[in-house]
Amino acid sequence: DIQMTQSPSSLSASVGDRVTITCRTSQTISIYLNWYQQRPGKAPKLLIYSTSSLQSGVPSRFSGSGSGTDFTLTISSLLPEDFATYYCQQSYITPLTFGGGTKLEIK
């Protein structure tokens, strides 16, 4: 199975900050990396697919980059509704695997 390592596991930031979350995979997955946001008590929501493509309806302050084994999710200017947990997921091969999550908290 492909192992997914997300960092940091938690992050404190302020409204307006720029934040970056990293995801590293145990083997190359080309660009088959997705990012999800999960708010407390809610189902995950797809933000970014295929490394850098923005899901319909997702604000442009979210962006993704990377290839191979190293990927990043960047939020350019945090809004209050962005404080949530973020997960990366590889869709290169089954079993699909998720990172452990990054909890983004208000400083």
Site for another protein contains 71 (CB under 8 A): no
Of 41, 40, 44, residue with least CA distance to 55: 44
How many angstroms separate the CA atoms of 69 and 3, rounded?
Answer: 10
Site for another protein contains 36 (CB under 8 A): yes
Binding mask 82-101 for another protein (x = CB under 8 A): -----x-x-x--xxxxxxxx
How many angstroms separate the CA atoms of 98 and 84, rounded?
Answer: 16
Among 20, 22, 55, 74, binds another protein (CB under 8 A): 55
Q: Which residues pair with 105 in a beta bridge?
A: 12
Binding footprint of another protein on the chain (CB under 8 A):
34, 36, 43-46, 49-50, 53, 55, 87, 89, 91, 94-101
